[in-house]
Chains A and B, each alone.
Chain A
């Protein structure tokens, strides 16, 4: 950014006018800096802070089809915390997170290490192929999987039938969560792999040489050198996954067209907020739900990060 060292060269001369010039310079630099970040702040305030404030304001009211709008204080929040549908949707996402995220990140890490090891043939092509699903819009991906899952004419069901197995029903209320996990995994393995792969490429090669001298093989190097070295990148993917999981919306809303019996209106918290607003016309309650969801995501993300920092500190002091 700024080029401060240029000023240091002239330090020994008279101080007072110098100082003024420094600060004048500094002011100029500051002005430029503010100018550069202004567009970001304007959009940030207009598109995030203002709507957020408005949603917070809305969530404190109650409006009915008959009788109009009245101030309700925290009644909507009290209602949400007692709402079995909302709590169930949070629980469902927690389950989703516990099951799907480790699988997805495990796969992403495995692929990243495999590509990084240099042993894999055609790694450029493989990298592109693994990343490709992420380039497919979520809407298209869900429609595509919806077809693959189809009970009568979906290819999976047809193959299962032709070799004498029963027809697996991917779209039943019992299986839909697993089917959705599969879609999301398929969509995001490549994205997370790229983040981890990029972090792996940044590890200084001296470490590998040292490991080699110590007689470590590929696996030992991966376990003891590479993974610790990209810990912060892994944490980043975990945080992204937390946010992504609790905000799932596209998948349930699209699967709902082919499996409306399996996807309830409150299948995920975000989808619930949307349905409350636009179908039940309970905009105020929807705003409260959305706010609470934001709070849940913030808490979970914070706890994960805090744990990680504690562990890192422990390790440092232990080393």
Chain B
């Protein structure tokens, strides 16, 4: 399955796939966290970068060797071995196994934002503050930096993000008498009715078991379903009144048969995107390129717009997907390892190439503002500057969103509780209660204090 064009995509498809691995990681023996607090001096950095060193880097970003080559050119003393040990959860499982075994873990590893807390829990990540992480914090969109640095520590360097927008078929909406993308969720519901009546298409599909998409909608609506203090206290609030508002909105549309609930990221769904079964896709910034590869035959008919808003005139979005690069606490060359994680996602050329050649949607302000990136006119979207639009959207993502230290269980339980209800076109709010119960029971059984 090397056909996924984007890193972040795997969040979507992997979260949807349940055949997922994560090794039990109970003993919190990550080799000691490196929170020494003493800042690394320039001399130490110079020395480390000029000492012959071998680093291992686990990542599933296609062709990342190109960026690693740039790093090796800049620091000839250091040689990096890139290893792709699997995508998403398979990768985490191997990472956990290596940490558990106390050997074989890489120096630097790709980690999606929502999984950072589970590695913080086991003290497996190196705090990058003493290595100078705060010097670069201002170079990223604020919410992305908050994802890797929830409190006084910094656990990783942001690599790519997935601010959410609306990709839609201009021709189908026009046929239904709609000239521009619905600006509010109310308008979206009306448009869904018109599209269904006039064309027979669904205005979009809500992936039945796609927790990432729903959590993105929560994020946009200002719902704070999770919190984690980095130690033993978690907050679980997936059935709050605000969350149920979002859920009820979708329940109504689904029960009126205006939104389909097919499982996403499989062949049926790809075909649905390509043949007009769905007139749109509420997706993340990695979606435009992905769609281009999936629905080639519909080139030129699609347009991009921000997500519909809960209140007219607002501009708020959520995020779905994205990764960072973290340094493992077990690394014997922490300075060089940090420099690698930083270089890949901070060096101007490296970050620019990640965005333009590997199509990872950038969190780096310098790339987002680069006219060469933002000004790309995509034929598939009728010549629209889609990157520029998503760069704007990226600024509107709520800056404060936390995860639980066991997101794999959260996603899989979502599938069991909410997912089955969405597929059966039932009451999503009621399913949120069930989800809440399951998560709370699990957290308590695992010894967490639940707030």
Closest to A153 in B: B271
Main secondary structure of the interface of A (DSSP, over half): loop
B208 at the interface (CB under 8 A from A): yes
Main secondary structure of the interface of B (DSSP, over half): loop
Given known contacts A150-B268, A280-B442, A281-B25, A265 and B209 CB-to-CB distance under 8 angstroms: no
A221 at the interface (CB under 8 A from B): no
Given known contacts A256-B17, A260-B419, A63 and B24 CB-to-CB distance under 8 angstroms: yes
A257 to B263, CA, bound (A): 8
Contacts of A278 in B (CB 8 A): 20-24, 89, 93
- Would B208 and A261 count as touching, CB distance under 8 A? yes
B183 at the interface (CB under 8 A from A): no
- Would B406 and A261 count as touching, CB distance under 8 A? no
- Would A65 and B423 count as touching, CB distance under 8 A? no
- Would B24 and A173 count as touching, CB distance under 8 A? no
- Name the one of A63, A150, A173, A264 contacting B27, with C-beta atoms under 8 angstroms: A63
A147 to B424, CA, bound (A): 21
- Would B271 and A66 count as touching, CB distance under 8 A? no
Closest to A282 in B: B24
Contacts of B93 in A (CB 8 A): 278
The A275-313 residues at the B interface (CB cut-off 8 A) are: 275, 277-283
- Name the one of A69, A173, A256 contacting B19, with C-beta atoms under 8 angstroms: A256
- Would A65 and B267 count as touching, CB distance under 8 A? no
- Would B263 and A261 count as touching, CB distance under 8 A? yes
- Would B412 and A261 count as touching, CB distance under 8 A? no
The A258-280 residues at the B interface (CB cut-off 8 A) are: 258-265, 275, 277-280
- Would B22 and A281 count as touching, CB distance under 8 A? yes
- Name the one of A150, A254, A256 contacting B267, with C-beta atoms under 8 angstroms: A150
Closest to A250 in B: B19
Give A202 Cβ to nearest chain B Cβ, in Å: 42
Give B234 Cβ to nearest chain A Cβ, in Å: 10
Closest to B277 in A: A152
Contacts of B65 in A (CB 8 A): none
Contacts of A257 in B (CB 8 A): 16-19, 263, 266
A281 to B208, CA, bound (A): 24
A259 to B420, CA, bound (A): 10
- Would B424 and A265 count as touching, CB distance under 8 A? no
Say which one of B136-144, B191-199, B377-385, B443-451 lies at the interface with A.
B443-451
A64 at the interface (CB under 8 A from B): yes
Closest to A281 in B: B24
Give A91 Cβ to nearest chain B Cβ, in Å: 18
Give A173 Cβ to nearest chain B Cβ, in Å: 7
- Name the one of B24, B208, B442 contacting A277, with C-beta atoms under 8 angstroms: B24
A283 to B25, CA, bound (A): 9
- Name the one of B27, B89, B416, B422 contacting A69, with C-beta atoms under 8 angstroms: B27
- Would B19 and A65 count as touching, CB distance under 8 A? no
A261 to B412, CA, bound (A): 11
A151 to B267, CA, bound (A): 11
- Would B416 and A264 count as touching, CB distance under 8 A? yes
Closest to A249 in B: B19
B3 at the interface (CB under 8 A from A): no
B232 at the interface (CB under 8 A from A): yes
A153 to B96, CA, bound (A): 40
A57 to B415, CA, bound (A): 32
B408 at the interface (CB under 8 A from A): yes
Indicate with 1 or 0, residue by residue over A246-257, a CB within 8 angstroms of chain B CB atoms: 000000011011
A151 to B269, CA, bound (A): 11
B405 at the interface (CB under 8 A from A): yes
B409 at the interface (CB under 8 A from A): yes
Closest to B210 in A: A260
B36 at the interface (CB under 8 A from A): no
Contacts of A254 in B (CB 8 A): 19
- Would A173 and B446 count as touching, CB distance under 8 A? no
Closest to B22 in A: A278
- Would A68 and B267 count as touching, CB distance under 8 A? no
A254 to B416, CA, bound (A): 16
- Name the one of A261, A282, A283 contacting B424, with C-beta atoms under 8 angstroms: A261
A298 to B209, CA, bound (A): 36
Closest to B26 in A: A63
Contacts of B22 in A (CB 8 A): 278-279, 281
A173 to B263, CA, bound (A): 14
Given known contacts A65-B448, A264-B416, A279-B409, A258 and B268 CB-to-CB distance under 8 angstroms: yes
- Would A265 and B263 count as touching, CB distance under 8 A? no
Contacts of B272 in A (CB 8 A): 152
A65 to B263, CA, bound (A): 31
B28 at the interface (CB under 8 A from A): yes
B121 at the interface (CB under 8 A from A): yes
| 16 sample A-B contacts, Cβ–Cβ < 8 Å, listed by A number | A63-B26, A66-B232, A153-B271, A260-B16, A260-B419, A261-B419, A261-B424, A265-B416, A278-B20, A278-B24, A279-B21, A279-B408, A279-B412, A281-B25, A281-B408, A283-B23
- B contacts, CB < 8 Å to A: 16-28, 89, 93, 121, 208-209, 232, 262-263, 266-268, 271-272, 277, 405-406, 408-409, 412, 415-416, 419-420, 422-424, 442, 445-448
